[in-house]
Structure 1
Amino acid sequence: MRNYNQPDVLITGLGVTSSIGQGKANFSSALLAGQHTFGVMQRPGRQKETRFIGAEIPVLSYPEYLSKKLLRKASFSSHVAMVTLYEAWMEAGLAGVDPERIGLIIGGSNIQQREMLRTYETYGERAQFITPAYGISFMDSDLCGLCTEQFGILGLAYTTGGASASGQLAIIQAIQAVLSGQVDVCIALGALLDISYLECQALRSLGAMGTDRYAEEPARACRPFDKHRDGFIYGESCAAVVIEHAETAASRQINPYAAITGWAIGMDGNRNPNPSLNGEVQVIQNVLKQARLSPQSIDYINPHGTGSILGDEIELEAIRQCQLAHTYINATKSLIGHGLSAAGTIEIAATLLQMKEACLHPTRNLDDPIDDTFNWVRDQAIAHQIKNALSLSMGFGGINTAICLKKL
């Protein structure tokens, strides 16, 4: 058995659903192989005389454990949440934990936009025929209700919104719920933010989402940190992370993925989507301080890295100013796209799986880095034993988050 005396907070289970694979084993192998599924999105409600590029989840596989009755009237985001949570639940062996000591925090808000748009289009002229179930399902809390009913979670459950930092924010809230004694185990789930053509168009008009520049070459569109980047490319994804005390894991003989040694949240004091160098520097410095790590101790960074024209440059400058330019860096979004609410959680999962495999995944389309002095993982995977990792997430509304992970 490992020594569970220090540190106190561990990750003991993972669930992943993404465009490149359902389940952490499929996701991990595709990640390390540099696979992708970028193309013109096909899901109903994603296009209206448009050709938005993205990465969509293939047909889901459902475990028998999940209630068909609950799934029947649930949204796509809810379906993905439940199959993803199931994988993490089973790996962490939570069926034997007191349900009143288990919590669930879902990262994301306004999660089901595409489903809502399709409902409006169907019932807009005949609202009296809308199904009563819509009175529940349009609320984000419905994901909590479905998951807590399916898995019998009785401790706590709520959603938390931080735009693209929601996934990491959910993990931080789960850590605090465990450390405060509210629960012994808390699951953080980064929900699939199911956007419609309206959100796609608005995000493009805002200058955040990629244009039609690569319309005829979808595989080239998603290119974080490359000089020819053109905004972020959306990607459906969802991930669940199980957080618990070391002593709880030890009592159940659970073998953890890693310890969480530091976490930080900081605000820019700015509603607009433009990033803040000061805000990002501050959150990195704060997380290193809490983790009691020097910059030289970090040997891998999983950055926010969206492909934003301004955001990528600001993030690299923040990393440089924090004396972290020596560290290996790759961009998970180059393979799976930007999961928005789910991004921070699935990138923590990607970090943990790379830590487990002692291998760093390639970064697609990094043909001409905006700064080639950084220690990039480019078009080939690299063998590397991660000891201390740093993961970063930033969101509209000026929120910055950071988490440090330590291999045990």
Structure 2
Amino acid sequence: MSPDAVVTGLGVVSAVGQGKQAFFDALLDGRQAFGVLRRPGRQLPAGDGETVAPPFIGAEIADLQLCATMPRKGLRTVSLAGRAALAALHEAWHEARLDQVRPERIGLIIGGSNVQQRELVLAQAALAGEPWFIAPAYGHTFLDSDVCGLCTEAFNIRGFAYTLGAASASGQVAVLQAVEAVRAGQADACIALGALTDLSYWELQALSSMGAMGSARFAGEPAMACRPFDRDRDGFIFGEACGAVVVERVERGAAFERAGVQPYARCLGGAVNVDGNRHPNPSLAGECLSIRRALRRAALTAAQIDYVNPHASGSRIGDETELLALRESGLAHAWLNTTKSLTGHGLAAAGAVEVVATLLQMRSGRLHPCRNLDRPLEAGWNFVGTAAQACDVEHALTVSIGFGGVNSALCWQRL
């Protein structure tokens, strides 16, 4: 019988709040932070005589704070994705008291690839005519492993560390891999971190052109743009975020014993599968397969799931497909809400951030509201309304889906 995997620490930064308490308070209050994106490198440059395109909108972190006790050495050259990772990891690390775990028995899995695109665009633009002056450090800081190395150095992690890419499912797939790592005995504790995806105007324009990202229809009213499961949705709205989840091994049936640590939940089972498809379109069969496999591995029936935190990106076809997958998987009875309607879509970070949101809701017995769900795609679903509500959630399901046919689902039991 394999050991249990329990979550002992959470960390999060987002545009609506940094740290678990601020983040969760914002979710329960239904707050949002959508507006015109203002970071350098986020808007299309205007050419001579050209018409300026409508601005990209999304949710940006106003003031990313690092703990005063964190070492300052080298932070000047750390990217936005790196600073967000340090902040989220610091919170999760200290809640789980990982300083009491041997460094060689701690692993780190970062969900996300190509997460520093804006920083790279800015660096290249600054030296476009003089590439020989590029800082030598660029030779390693452009790699995803730079965020891994940054975190392992800052927290003295001496087990394994690597990044994985599963598009918008990266954060949740990282959590699943962390669960499997501790169950297999590869580590006593493993941190799964959904990295902040720092988009530049190149990615924003491409995502907009392909119809995945919301249009400029709500450019004058950014707060109205992010509309998962609503009939007036027209694509996802980007939101900066980063989430960290500490997963630890405990023998089946035993209580977690490290003093001062109170586990949130047990991961009962999960699944990831792909559709054999390079493109961004969703697959009903693939989504149903991941949900059903997760339930089977968790030894749960669909009827035992009290709450589902869905992918719910606001995609035209994606939202329709997901609701159909939930219905065909027997989950039409469960409560649903839409975390992205408040935070925006964090891309690689989304799955980890939504696991954080799910476990905070399970512990508190309260579900956060949905924004902009004025005309739901289908009647008869148990959507949380415009205000938070009490709900006793013993078992929850989280769903995260990514371009390239990636489908993932995790089953959780409250502790």
Structure 2 length as normaliser, TM-score?
0.96
Read off the aligned partner of 2:36 and give its amino acid letter: V
CA contact (8 A) 1:12 1:249 kept: no
Q: Among all aligned residue pairs of Structure 1 and Structure 2, give the percentage whose two residues are the same amino acid.
A: 55
Instruction: Report deviation, 1:70.
Output: 2.8
- Counterpart CA distance in 2 for 1:251 and 1:305 is 37
Gaps in structure 1 of 5+ consecutive residues: none
**2:47 paired residue number:** none
- Counterpart CA distance in 2 for 1:195 and 1:386 is 35
Read off the aligned partner of 1:55 and give its amino acid letter: A
SS at match of 1:163: coil
Is 1:397 paired with 2:404?
yes
- Counterpart CA distance in 1 for 2:153 and 2:330 is 47
What does residue range 73-222 of structure 1 map to in structure 2 within 5 Å? 73-222=77-226
**1:296 paired residue number:** 303
CA contact (8 A) 1:328 1:376 kept: yes
**1:40 paired residue number:** 36
Structure 1 length as normaliser, TM-score?
0.97
Is 1:21 paired with 2:14?
no
**1:272 paired residue number:** 279
Instruction: Report deviation, 1:7.
Output: 6.8
What does residue range 56-71 of structure 1 map to in structure 2 within 5 Å? 56-71=60-75
- Counterpart CA distance in 2 for 1:228 and 1:297 is 32
CA contact (8 A) 1:261 1:404 kept: yes
Instruction: Report deviation, 1:6.
Output: 9.7
SS at match of 2:360: helix
Instruction: Report deviation, 1:173.
Output: 1.0
Instruction: Report deviation, 1:140.
Output: 0.5
Moved more, 20-29 or 172-181: 172-181
CA contact (8 A) 1:73 1:133 kept: no
Is 1:373 paired with 2:377?
no
- Counterpart CA distance in 2 for 1:160 and 1:6 is 24
Read off the aligned partner of 1:189 and give its amino acid letter: L
Read off the aligned partner of 2:181 and give its amino acid letter: A
- Counterpart CA distance in 1 for 2:269 and 2:183 is 13
**1:331 paired residue number:** 338
Runs of 4+ in 1 over 3 A off after TM superposition: none
CA contact (8 A) 1:45 1:117 kept: yes
- Counterpart CA distance in 1 for 2:258 and 2:289 is 38
**2:321 paired residue number:** 314
Instruction: Report deviation, 1:65.
Output: 2.3
CA contact (8 A) 2:305 2:334 kept: yes
CA contact (8 A) 1:70 1:146 kept: no
**2:258 paired residue number:** 252
Read off the aligned partner of 1:157 and give its amino acid letter: A
**Aligned positions, number:** 404
Instruction: Report deviation, 1:249.
Output: 7.6
SS at match of 1:175: helix
SS at match of 2:169: helix
SS at match of 2:65: coil
Is 1:363 paired with 2:367?
no
**Cα RMSD (Å):** 1.3
Change in Cα spacing, 1:159 to 1:249, as seen in structure 2 (3 Å) is: farther
SS at match of 2:114: coil
Is 1:223 paired with 2:227?
yes
SS at match of 1:260: strand
Instruction: Report deviation, 1:251.
Output: 3.4
- Counterpart CA distance in 2 for 1:154 and 1:268 is 35
Q: Deviations over 1:11-34 (max 9, x none)?
A: 000000000000000001110000
Instruction: Report deviation, 1:211.
Output: 0.6
- Counterpart CA distance in 1 for 2:316 and 2:336 is 18
CA contact (8 A) 2:169 2:350 kept: yes
Read off the aligned partner of 1:275 and give its amino acid letter: P
Change in Cα spacing, 1:130 to 1:6, as seen in structure 2 (3 Å) is: closer
Indicate which of 233, 236, 241 corresponds to 1:232.
236
CA contact (8 A) 2:3 2:183 kept: no
Read off the aligned partner of 2:203 and give its amino acid letter: E
CA contact (8 A) 2:66 2:86 kept: no
**2:49 paired residue number:** none
SS at match of 2:243: strand
SS at match of 1:401: strand
CA contact (8 A) 2:256 2:263 kept: no
